[in-house]
Amino acid sequence: MMISDLPMDMVEEVLCKLPMTSLRRARFTCRRWNNTLSKDWSFTRKYNGEAAKRKESQVVMVLEYKVYLMSVNLHNPSPSIEPIGKLDDAGVDIINVFHCQGLLLCVTKDRTRLVVWNPFSGQTRWVQSRDSYDIRDRYALGYEKKNNYSLKVLRFVDDYDRNLKRRVYKFEIFNLNSSSWKVVDFNPDWIIQFFYRGLSFKGNTYWFAENKVAPGKIGRVFLLCFNFTTESFGPRLRLPFRGHYGDTLTLSSVREEQLAVLFQECAPPYTLKVWISSKVCPNAVSWNKVFLSVDMRPLIGFQFHCFAGSFFVDEKNNAVVVIDKTRGLPFTIRNMAYVLGENGYFKSVDLGDFAPMKCWPLVCSYVPSLVKF
């Protein structure tokens, strides 16, 4: 009997135990396997279930301009965060990623191109700009729920143009079904700082924003949702803290069901707090009590950077993992994961190699998906 003639239930039992990067290579050795598994949602569920049994979670990280799938296990006395493999289908250096429904929207290092990518299936789709991309661009990936989950990319610029000596606002939407751009006429009464990263959640994207205020004054931070179905921003959503420009503010998701928000003061003792939502929708959000509160001054002695400071939550271990760099002289700085837990629990995990000065490490949750585009 040839290996391609094995019963599919036996094939699934074997393949669902492989790391994802190995799984992709194994699928393409047999056309029958690839055709069947690329359309089989039951296999995807089984594969995700096997990962849960191993008491590990999978996240995507950007390290040194490359995208990695990482295995995270916090159950052992010494937590481990190890690469499963490098996801290199895009074939270019990546500076930023945004996750939505198992898909990644990647921004290239030169900030001139975008690619939508499904690491599980290997499918990629390059997105051509209307004119040219800009270093001040911000992006989001979401989908329209009333039209067979039509995928869309939001591109916008909200920044000060020194040549024009005024703020510039541009909003554009790319529809992957029609391969077309649409310009959105919108003049907001708020600003989104260039270092705030959006978070895609249930098809929509959430951002931190600030009230427009007079020059020299600091506006209060709140939460905004961009609804990809209505193609519009919703009302201001409350946060469980009073944040201002200079604080570290980051969003994450918990099991694709709840939002998590990290807040760290920009002054000693650099107190870090994390909340998890009890309810979230485009027009309303409510928060549970503080999930974790840590005085960071005796642990690392610095504030997580607003460019980095991305994080994820491990509810089973009541822990939070923050991704950032060490501080120091060039060629001594390393990418690090900082594991924070209850009762003063703290561990740091070296993610390997020195960190390029202009590439901040990033992390986002990841669940394999068969979504096509």
| Cβ neighbours for 19, distance < 8 A, ≥ 6 positions apart | 69, 71, 84, 85
Q: Of the ranges 28-32, 56-60, 155-159, 325-329, which one carries the lowest mean pLDDT score? A: 28-32
What is the rounded distance in angstroms from the CA atom of residue 360 to the CA atom of residue 355? 8
- Residues 326-334, mean pLDDT to the nearest whole number: 81
What is the rounded distance in angstroms from the CA atom of residue 285 to the CA atom of residue 236? 10
Quick check: helix, strand or coil at residue 93? Answer: coil
Report pTM: 0.83
- Residues 255-276, mean pLDDT to the nearest whole number: 89
Residue type, 351: L
| SS (HEC) of 77-108 | CCCEEEEEEECCCCCCCEEEEEEECCEEEEEE
| Cβ neighbours for 60, distance < 8 A, ≥ 6 positions apart | 67, 68, 69, 70, 87, 97, 99, 104, 119, 363, 364, 365, 366
- Are 362 and 61 in contact by the 8 Å Cβ rule? The answer is yes
- Residues 2-11, mean pLDDT to the nearest whole number: 61
**Mean pLDDT across the chain, nearest whole number?**
81
- Are 30 and 4 in contact by the 8 Å Cβ rule? The answer is yes
What is the rounded distance in angstroms from the CA atom of residue 53 to the CA atom of residue 56? 8
- Residues 235-255, mean pLDDT to the nearest whole number: 89
What is the rounded distance in angstroms from the CA atom of residue 123 to the CA atom of residue 103? 10
User: 55-365 sits in which CATH class?
Assistant: mainly beta
- Residues 25-34, mean pLDDT to the nearest whole number: 62
Angle at 203 between CA 201 and CA 207, to 5 degrees: 50
Residue 34 CB neighbours (<10 A): 16
Calculate the dihedral angle through the C-alpha atoms of 86, 92, 94, 99, rounding to the nearest 10 degrees. Answer: -70
What residue ranges do the domains of the chain occupy?
1-54, 55-365
End-to-end CA gap in the chain: 36
- Residues 117-135, mean pLDDT to the nearest whole number: 80
DSSP element (H, E) containing 368? none
Residue that is written with structure tokens 């822990």 in the block:
319
Q: Six-digit token pair at 100? A: 């939505």
pLDDT of residue 250: 93
Query: If pLDDT is split at 50, 70 and 90, which confidence band does 323 have?
Result: very high
Residue 31 pLDDT more than 60? yes
Give 199's strand partners.
206
Residue 277 pLDDT more than 90? yes
205 class by beta-carbon count within 10 Å (0-12 exposed, 13-18 middle, 19+ buried): buried
- Are 272 and 283 in contact by the 8 Å Cβ rule? The answer is no
Residue 293 pLDDT more than 90? yes
Quick check: helix, strand or coil at residue 111? Answer: coil
Q: Of the ranges 46-60, 246-260, 348-362, which one carries the lowest mean pLDDT score? A: 46-60
pLDDT of residue 44: 61
272 class by beta-carbon count within 10 Å (0-12 exposed, 13-18 middle, 19+ buried): buried
Distance of alpha carbon 250 from its chain centroid, rounded? 10
Query: If pLDDT is split at 50, 70 and 90, which confidence band does 284 have?
Result: very high
Could you tell me which of 308, 307, 282 has the C-alpha nearest to residue 206?
282
Residue that is written with structure tokens 């929509």 in the block:
204
Distance of alpha carbon 95 from its chain centroid, rounded? 12
Q: Of the ranges 66-75, 211-220, 299-308, which one carries the lowest mean pLDDT score? A: 211-220
- Residues 332-348, mean pLDDT to the nearest whole number: 89
Residue type, 147: N
Query: If pLDDT is split at 50, 70 and 90, which confidence band does 53 have?
Result: low
- Are 220 and 210 in contact by the 8 Å Cβ rule? The answer is yes
What is the rounded distance in angstroms from the CA atom of residue 287 to the CA atom of residue 217? 28
For residues 35 and 265, the model is more confident at: 265
> Packing angle between helix 20-27 and helix 8-15, nearest 10 degrees?
150
